[in-house]
């Protein structure tokens, strides 16, 4: 069932979104050469505790996860692109890291992700991040009342395909509310004019993610981290977005 949020509820969700944005801004700034992934997770944990928020990840155990996640942050480095389980690894110059974070504040959830380059950038990594960022922007712009879910998917795909990337549709966006994952699934490829009608009150996480030279993924031995099948790098961008009568409203915007 797709739940429609009232304007008052969307305001409460924006409070959670502001917090999630603050955490990701801090983590992106701290993702420097020598930083340990476990330390990044601890920083996020400390910020959750200080805010009186709740993690959406630590007890998360869907069917595709080997066990409860056990951390509050996803840290996907280089050929890892989704669900990266923090472990004892220090970031090196030239690494690319995707930080995915979701939290509940006063019972309302926001979910967001960002990919950054550590130290010296590789041109191909910067290009992949740029494409993924523009795909997110295109998806948000297509999230218009009166439209269809497929409009968002098609807008995301158009950017990726124009830049020569292929698209995996196993994982994508989703509706957000009292829980992190609602019933609505938003693939990163689709046909415009198809799918669920976009009504004011729908809140979705729009999250394009692409790999440099493949659309195939494999699960790491940790049972969580998803990596490219060919070792190429990946990028992941995400915002929680509300459909309003005036158009899309990004709830997790970062300063």
Separation of alpha carbons 230 and 126, rounded Å:
19
Q: Are 3 and 181 in contact (CB under 8 A)?
A: no
Q: Is 61 annotated as a binding residue?
A: no
Neighbouring CB atoms inside 10 A of 66's CB total 13
Residues in the chain: 255
Neighbouring CB atoms inside 10 A of 123's CB total 7
Helices (H) and strands (E) in the chain, counts: 4, 14
Separation of alpha carbons 226 and 167, rounded Å:
15
Q: Is 207 annotated as a binding residue?
A: yes
Q: Is 87 annotated as a binding residue?
A: no
Q: Which residues pair with 69 in a beta bridge?
A: none
Q: What Å distances lie between residue 246 and 12, 106, 150, 249, CA to CA?
A: 18, 26, 20, 8
Q: Is 239 annotated as a binding residue?
A: no
Hunting for tokens 């493949």 — which residue is that? 214
Q: Give DSSP secondary structure letters for 68-85.
A: ---SS-EEEETTEEESPP
Q: Is 181 annotated as a binding residue?
A: yes
Strand order in the sheet with 173-175: 185-186, 173-175, 203-206, 239-244, 247-250
Q: Residues comprising the binding site for substrate?
A: 83, 181
Feature table: binding site for a divalent metal cation? 100, 111, 174, 207, 238
Q: Which residue ranges make up the annotated binding site?
A: 83, 100, 111, 174, 181, 207, 238
């Amino acid at each position: 069932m797709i739940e429609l949020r009232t304007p008052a509820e969307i305001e409460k969700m924006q409070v959670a979104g502001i917090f999630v944005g603050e955490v990701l801004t801090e983590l992106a700034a701290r993702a420097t050469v020598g930083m340990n992934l476990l330390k990044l997770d601890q920083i996020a944990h400390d910020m959750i505790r200080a805010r009186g928020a709740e993690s959406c990840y630590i007890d998360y155990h869907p069917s595709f996860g080997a066990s409860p996640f056990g951390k509050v942050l996803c840290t996907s480095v280089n050929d890892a692109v989704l669900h990266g389980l923090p472990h004892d690894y220090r970031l090196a110059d030239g690494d690319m890291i995707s930080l995915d974070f979701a939290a509940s504040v006063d019972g309302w959830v926001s979910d967001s992700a960002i990919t950054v380059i550590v130290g010296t950038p590789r041109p191909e990594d910067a290009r992949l991040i740029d494409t993924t960022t523009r795909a997110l922007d295109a998806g948000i712009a297509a999230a218009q009342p009166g439209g269809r879910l497929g409009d968002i998917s098609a807008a995301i795909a158009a950017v990726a395909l124009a830049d020569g990337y292929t698209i995996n549709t196993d994982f994508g966006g989703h509706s957000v509310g009292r829980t992190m994952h609602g019933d609505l699934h938003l693939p990163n490829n689709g046909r415009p004019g198809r799918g669920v009608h976009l009504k004011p009150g729908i809140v979705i996480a729009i999250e394009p993610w692409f790999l440099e030279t493949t659309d195939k993924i494999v699960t790491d031995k940790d049972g969580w981290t998803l990596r490219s099948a060919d070792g190429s790098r990946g990028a992941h961008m995400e915002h929680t977005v509300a459909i309003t009568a005036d158009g899309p409203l990004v709830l997790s915007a970062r300063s």
